[in-house]
Every structure is written in structure tokens, then in C-alpha cells.
Structure 1
Amino acid sequence: MRVFNKSYCMVKPSDQTRSTKLALSELDQTGVITHVPTIYFYKHSPEDWLTVLQTLKTSLSSILLHFFPLAGRLSLIDGGRLELNCNAAGAQFVEAYADIKLLDLDTLLPSQVYHQLIPSIDYQNITLEEIPLLVLQVTRFTCGGFTLGLNISHVVADGQSALHFVSEWARVCRGEPLETPPYIDRKILRAGDPPRTLEMIHHEQFDPPPILIDQSDEKERERATTVTMLKLTATQVETLKIKANESTTSEMSRGFTRYEAISAHIWRTSCKARNHKPEQPTALAFCVDVRTKMRPPLPQKYFGNAIVNMIVTGCSGEIISNPLGYVSSKIRDVINKVDDEYVNSVIDFLKNQEELSMFRELIPTSGNEEHFYGNPNVGVISWLSLPIYGADFGWGKEIHMSPGTHESDGDSVILHGKDGDGSVVVALCLQVRHMEEFKKLFYHDIDMI
């Protein structure tokens, strides 16, 4: 596939927006602070292609009046902290053309095509203050179909917020009014406020992750990775849940969720596929949405990051040799820790740090200096509760939606099947040398249950 004739423009809000420096919460500026890619595939539009492009640009300009942080830029301030400059600099809009039909993509892996259909971000050669927070690419195929590839800064929006933006943009593009405006003020998560307590509670998720016993961290990060999409039928999902819940006790108020069971299965499978020694330390990283866990709950459509990063650790021998329910319970125990008090303890811990940049997975101004979170570890992010499908910009709903290019060893995303039949898809990135064994074990172990 060849993508060509790219043209670039900056789409700015259609009217004057509030010009201000917006304080970011600690949850905004730690963990993943790069852009998060997603991609939508559409059949051909009955309208002229130039009309499609103009409609997308005009509606984007209009919706940025409400989601004006996405038109701003980031800057570094004291203590390695980030600040959001709402300067209406705009979102980058890329037009492109591909020399194949959409149907021809079925023979290609996501990693082979997505990087051409979703605009990349050059963190190394562009200063932080110049990087757009929203970058998108509309690519037309020879059949008349097109893709919409988005890259949205994780500093500005988590998954819930990003999908709220996409949903409202689609409504406006269809000619409908805004349904629910975003709640912009980060003060509700104490952005810019001093810590409430100076007590330094230890939070394990901010420690350096486990590394391989007999390999160098540097050698592992250089290994080639690949991406795959693993489908689980509703029956396979239910099989995993049943197996996990076989060992539940009467003290448990509810059985394990599909996320807990699938995550436990991914963790166990990765330990096997990577052929870890029994004593090898390993971690599973994930995030928890805190919108309903705060007291009072956060306002409807809070726009920002309302997630805390969590970690569960063990040894590979422990994870492999114990039942699925045991591993699921380790994940459940960590999830249950997250309440209003815990979230505020995380915020206070970060507020008490003189230098915040060490708690990021990427420092855009100084290159890729993050802790390597690959082998022997995994990350499992859930999109199971997110409204990821149904983005109709006026030419029908997408025929396919997917996470974009994730090239970090061990990263995975769980999303529900489009047909609402109880199936799920696991988008997984793993080292090439381990992928085939992982896929074989992933399904074999379910069939053996």
C-alpha cells in the first residue's frame, strides 16, 4: 500500500475561545503522556470528496469551541510539570490518498498499515510547545472508502474524554446540536493546589518495573515487536469467567469480571510464552477509572484524565502454577484499593515530588527515557466500558474501529466486539520471537479448560 499526496493544514476554533493557562492535575501529567492513536474505517460517501473534507474541517472548527483544550499546546514549568496553554493554535488536519481498496487491507496486519493511516508525532525533533494535541488524517481509498486516523494527547484526555470528543464532533458534523458540553475545570482534581498532607505513602506503581533476571534492559528494548488482534467468542469469554470463578470463596460479593479473567489469562500466557524461570518477577499494569469512585463523583463528562495507574506483581512460577481464579483475585485486590481516599493519596504523593518528570513513560523534550515496561511485564487496558463504536459523521457508522499502532512489548487493549454478541478482541503487541507461541497457548489453554 502506498499513501501519497498528503496535504496539511491547521484547523482552529471557529470563534474566539477562552485564552488561559490551564492547570493540569497530577493524573494528567504522569504515566502515559504521549498521543493515543485510534482509527475508524468508512465505506464510500455519497457526497463529493471535497464536500466531505470541507464538512469535516468546518465541524471540527466548530466543536473545538467547546473542546478548546485540544486546540492548545503544552509547556514545561517548574518541577518538570506540564501546563496547558489554551492558545487556540489549532489541530493538525492531514489529507491523504491510498492506492488500494479498503477490502485489500484484510490481507495486511494492523502494524503494516496503521502507521501510514494515522499521523505520527515527532517527539524528538519538534519542541513540546509546537506539538499539536490533536492530529488527524483522513485517507481516501480507490474504492471511495476512507479512514479517519486520530492521535489525541493523553495529557489532555483519557479514553472516556477522547471518545466524548469524537461523539460530539460526529453529532455536529451530522448537523445536530451539541449534546453534552465537556467539564473542563481540572480544579476538581486539585490541579494547581498544594498537597493536603505531607505524609509520603508508598505507591508501588511508581517504582521501576521488574526486569529480566538474565537479560539487560537495553537488549530487551531493541527486540522487534509485532501486533495481532486476538478474537474471543462469547463462549470463550464465558469459559474463562467460569474457570476463574471456580475457586471463589463465599466472602466474595461478586464473581470475577470478564476483564479480571481475561487479564489474568493474558498475564499467565505471557509468562509461559516468554519461557520465564519460576523465580522471575513480573508485573501486570493497568488503569482504573475514578469518575464514580470519588466522593462526590466527578461531574458528568469530566474532560481530562480521571484514571489512576495501578500494578500487580508476582513471580512467573506463582502466576503459571496457580489457578486462573488465584491470578484474577490478585488483580481484584488491587482494583478494590482504589477509592476516594486512595486517589487523593496518589495525588498527594505526586504533589510532594520536587520533580514530576520521572513518573512519566515518555519525556518529549529529552527523548525516550522511560522505564522499559516490556518483558517480563504486560499492560492490559480495558476499553470494555467505552462507547468505542458508532461514530457517524453523516455518512453512516464505521465499518471497523481499532486502537492504532502500539509498538511497546507487552501492551494490550481489550475491547468488546462490534456486534454486541458478547465477544471481545484483544489487541496485543509482543516481541516477534514470542508472538506465535503466545497465540498458540492463548487459545489452547482455553480449549483445555
Structure 2
Amino acid sequence: MSVSIKSSCNLEPNAKTKPGRLSLSELDQIGIMTHIPTIYFYKPSVSNWLQPFTSIINVLKDSLSRVLVPFYPLAGRLHWIGHGRLELDCNAMGVTFIEAESQSKLEDFGDFSQFSEYQHLIPHVDYTLPLHEIPLLLVQLTRFHCGGFSISLTLSHVVVDGQSALHFISEWARIARGEPLGTQPFFDRKVLRAGGPPISRTLFHHKEFDELPLLIGQSNNSEERRKKTTASQLKITKAQVEKLKSKANESKSMDNGGGYTRYETLTAHVWRSACKAREHKPEQPTAMGICIDSRKRMQPPLPDGYFGNAILDVIAVSTSGELVSKPLGFASSKIRDAIQNVTSEYINSAIDFCKNQQDLTKFQDIYALRGTDEGPFYGNPNLELVSWLTLPIYGLDFGWGKEIYMGLGSVDFDGDAFLVPSHDSDGSLVLAICLQADHIKAFEKYFYEDII
């Protein structure tokens, strides 16, 4: 796809904002350290499209500069402070806004299932720059030949998780529509003990901070990192979801928390299908990463509008032989056990574990930042499945109607997977997954065959 960049500018908050350094929590400083993209496609109605495209550009720019006042940390910059730790300088340096054009038509995207088609529609982040020069937010508006357009955003995962990112995006749209702010963002990470010392408490064993399993016979994951990958989107109908849940719950006692959820069931199914597709030996250890939102699990719960990372990645561990040979309910039970372990005490213990580390680097996925193979890696024989099933990802209206499609900008490393509700609002779900190119077709085959 040919996309030409017409202009790029820096947008600052349109009013004076609070300056100073903001301490980050340990949950901000572990896991993914790069930017996470999302993209929205629009085809305004005929009446809306009669307005000049420049007016749409002006609305987006003006509302973005205004929403950066209440969301002022997004206009700041990150700084390394040593030992793999960071601070956020709220210096109002601004965000990047890019205008682009493409000769493609919206119809050329088909069902929007090919991630490779989005590559030039998403802002490029130059990680060769010093960290303190990289914007935390980059936006690209791309106009298509047919009259439609896309809005893509990429946000630093150090500063926001999925819920916080969607909070910001929805408030930006509200302001663009001329409405007041809905929920005030809450920035003080001290509720997650940012900048404070460890607390003396009984520490849990945190498997999520252990070395992840390697393929039998390998001493590191460098070879797996270098293998070509490809992404796929698989739709699961509501009937298929219910069929899988029935299979998972066939032998389950309902005394332990009721039937398995959609997430527990589908994560288990993905785990088993990947083990088959990767042709593991029966004794191969494998881990499934699970993202847990701590907002309501903390005691007391985090304030409404908490703006930052409140996600703790935990893992379920088994062997491929057990997962494949035993009923689906076995893998589902592994997922549930890992989730139920995450209490307020467990999260505080994980925070203390990180506070007690001399250096956080080995717990950070910083490959793009430093060009090394450092950090956690959920590739073969492991996976991570992130659920966006309960997040308000659809219905983003800047004043010219809701999107016709919203998608993840990329799913680009082996073992990376997302589960989202279908845009059709018919109860179906979409699995976006990236695996090694040699494994993806077999995965798709087992994924659907085993539902029958």
C-alpha cells in the first residue's frame, strides 16, 4: 500500500499544565516498554462528508491539544534514572500528529483481517532516538481515495495499559464532539506505592518473574526470536464459544467458582492448539501468560480513572503432553488457578519483589529500545493471551459517526495473542494471534477442528 506523508507537527496542551517529575509504579516499569498501536477506520455519511476534510483535521488537532490539558502526562517524556528504572517528566513537550494520504480505497481492505495492510497507516516510532526525545503519543490521520479515512494512535505502554489508553481515546472523542470530560484521570501512582520502599510482608513465589520455559535442548531463546512470524485473525461464533465452554465444563465440579468463563475456556483452547501446531514433545514445559487487571483486586480498589499500568502478567505452567492428552477442562483449570491466585496481597508481593531488585532490565521487553534479545519472551514454547473482552473498544465517535472497523495495529511476535469481541455485536469473538510462519496454518487447523 502506498501512503504519502503530507505533514507532521508537534501538538502541545493548549493551556498551562502541572510541571514536574511523576514517579512510576513497578507495574509501569515491567513487561512491554514500547508503544502499542490501535487503528480506527471511518466512512462518514454523505452529509458529514460534504464538509471540507480540513475541518476534520482541525477538529482533531484542536480537540487533541485540549484533551492534553487534563491528560497532561501524555505530553511529557520518559527518562531513565538508572538500574532499569524510569520517571515521567511532565514537561508539556507535546505529541506528534501526522497527516497522510493513500490512493487505496476502504474496500481494498476487505474484512480488515490482514495486519500487514496497516503497516503504513500507523505512526512510526524512532527508537534510535534517546528515550527522553520520543513522544509518548503519536497519531496518524490517513485519508483514502474513496473519501474514508483512518485514525491510528500508538501510545507508550510504560505510561498506559489498555484500559487507560481507551479512557484517553474516548475522552478525546468526547471533547471533539463538544462534550465535557466524562471521567477525570487519576495520575498518582502512590496508590500502587510508586517511589516508596518495600513493605515487610510474606512474599509469594512469583513464577511470572522466573525464567520462562525454553524448548527442550536449547539454552536460550535467541534462535526462536529470529524465526519468521505471521499473524492471523480467527473468528469464533457465539455457538462455537458455547460448544467449547460445554467441553471445558463436562467434568468440572461447580463447587469451585462455577463454570469456566469464555476467557478461561478459549485461553485453554489456544494453549492446546499451539502445543499441537508446534509439535512439542510430550515432556515439553510450556507457559501461558495471563494479564490481570488489578484495579478492583486491590484493597482498597484503585480510584476510578486510574491512569497508568494496573496490569500484572502471571503465568500458568504445564507440559504439552498433559495439555493435549487431557480434556479441555484440565487446561482451563490451570488458567483459573493462576487468575484466582491474584489477590491484593499477591499484587503487593509482586510490587515488593520488583522493589527489591537491583535492576529491572531483565523483566522488561526492551528489544525495540536497545536492539538486544533482553527481556521476557512469550515465543515458542510459550504464549500470552490478552483479553479485551470487557473493554469499551468500539463506538468511537469524534463527531462524524462511529468507526466502521477498529483493530489492533499489530500482533507481531511469536506467541502474542489478543481476544476481542467481534465488531458485529453478535456474540462472536476474534482471536488475533502471531506465531512462527511454519506453525500458523497447523494452528488454524487444530483451532477449528477441536471445536467440533
| Cα distance change on mapping 1:16 and 1:388 into 2, 3 Å | same
Pairwise CA distance, 1:254: 1.4
Q: Give TM-score scaled by structure 2 length.
A: 0.96
Question: Among residues 343, 348, 353, which one is paired with 2:347 in the alignment?
Answer: 343
What is the CA–CA distance in structure 1 between the aligned matches of 2:437 and 2:262, rounded to whole Å?
Answer: 27
| Equivalence for 2:31 | 31
Q: CA deviation at 1:415?
A: 0.4
Cα offsets for 1:34-87 (capped at 9, x unmatched):
111111010045221111111100000000001111111000113221100000
Q: Aligned partners of 1:337 and 1:439: how far apart in 2?
A: 31
Moved more, 382-391 or 106-115: 106-115
Residue deviations 1:318-352 (CA, integer Å, cap 9, x gap)? 11111111100010001001111111001111111
State the shift of 1:367 in Å: 2.3
Alignment pair present for 1:383 and 2:402: no
Distance 2:111 2:430 in 1: 18
Partner Cα separation in structure 2 for residue 67 and residue 101 of structure 1: 34
1:283 matched residue in structure 2: 287
Return the offset for 1:112: 1.9
Amino acid of the structure 1 residue aligned with 2:279: N
Superposition pairs for residues 18-417 of structure 1, below 5 Å?
18-44=18-44, 45-46=48-49, 47-106=51-110, 110-123=114-127, 125-197=128-200, 201-215=204-218, 217-362=221-366, 365-368=369-372, 369-417=374-422
* Amino acid in the other structure paired with 2:186: Y
Query: C-alpha distance in 1, partners of 2:432/2:369?
Result: 29
Which amino acid is the alignment partner of residue 395 of structure 1?
W
- Counterpart amino acid of residue 184 in structure 1: F
Structure 2 spans left out of the alignment, 5+ residues: none
Paired residue secondary structure (1:446): coil
Aligned-pair identity (%): 54
Structure 2 distance, partners of 1:363, 1:445, is 35
Output the amino acid matched with 2:148: G
Q: Deviations over 1:142-163 (max 9, x none)?
A: 0110011111111111111100
Of the candidates 431, 438, 443, which is equivalent to residue 433 of structure 1? 438
Contact residue 31 and residue 376 of structure 2 kept, 8 A: no
| Aligned AA (1:391) | L
Is the deviation greater in 372-381 or in 327-336?
Answer: 372-381
- Structure 1 residues 124-151: Cα deviation after superposition (integer angstroms, max 9, x where no partner): x111101110011110000110011111
CA contact (8 A) 1:111 1:226 kept: no
How does the TM-score come out when normalised to structure 1?
0.97
C-alpha deviation, 1:109, in angstroms: 5.1
CA displacement at 1:122 relative to structure 2: 2.3
Quote how far apart the aligned CAs of 1:389 are.
0.2
Shift of 1:252: 1.4
Match of 1:8 in 2: 8
Deviation for aligned residue 1:208 = 1.7
Cα deviation, residue 404, structure 1? 1.1
Change over 3 Å in CA distance of 1:336–1:421 after alignment to 2? same
Question: CA 1:421 to 1:107, structure 2 compared with 1: closer, same or farther past 3 Å?
Answer: closer
How many equivalent pairs are there?
Answer: 446
Per-residue Cα deviation, 1:1-53 (whole angstroms, up to 9, x for no partner) = 20013421111100110001000000111111211111101004522111111
Q: Please, which moves more after superposition, 218-227 or 438-447?
A: 218-227
- Deviation at residue 207 of structure 1 after TM alignment: 1.4
The AA in structure 2 aligned to 1:321 is S
The offset of 1:200, in angstroms, is 5.4
Give me the CA root mean square deviation: 1.4
Higher alpha-carbon deviation: 231-240 or 107-116: 107-116
1:198/1:352 contact within 8 Å kept:
no
Q: Which residue number corresponds to residue 17 of structure 2?
A: 17
CA distance in 2, matches of 1:70, 1:110: 30
Change (3 A) 1:97 1:322: same
Query: In 2, distance between residues paired with 1:199 and 1:417?
Result: 42
SS at match of 1:332: helix
User: Match of 1:423, as an amino acid?
Assistant: S
Secondary structure of residue in 2 paired with 1:151: strand
Distance 1:294 1:116 in 2: 40
Instruction: Report the Cα offset of residue 201 of structure 1.
Output: 4.1
Q: Residues 169 and 279 of structure 1: is their aligned pair in 2 closer, same or farther, counting only changes over 3 Å?
A: same
CA 1:66–1:139 in 2, change beyond 3 Å: closer, same or farther? same
